[in-house]
Amino acid sequence: MTYANDRLFEEIAYVAYHLHWSFEEILDLEHPVRQQFVNEIAGINRRLTGEE
């Protein structure tokens, strides 16, 4: 099973925007690790905006 390119770029853009990491640094992460960063950033954003 391959991971959809659109979703991959969405994750990379999200992490890069918030952590200012390079494309290569983020792409080097294993998918579960990258997904965990996405989840953690989303949680932080929800707490900051009072959505949680």
Per-residue pLDDT of the chain (52 residues; tens, 9 = 90+): 567 889 999 999 999 999 999 999 999 999 999 999 999 999 999 999 998 7
Instruction: Please give the Cα distance from 17 to 20 (Å, whole number).
Output: 6
Alpha-carbon distances, residue 36 vs 14, 31, 40, 49 (angstroms): 12, 9, 6, 20
> What is the pLDDT at residue 1?
52
> What is the pLDDT at residue 51?
83
> What is the pLDDT at residue 2?
65
Q: Please give the residue range of the domain that contains residue 23.
A: 5-48
Q: How many domains does the chain have?
A: 1
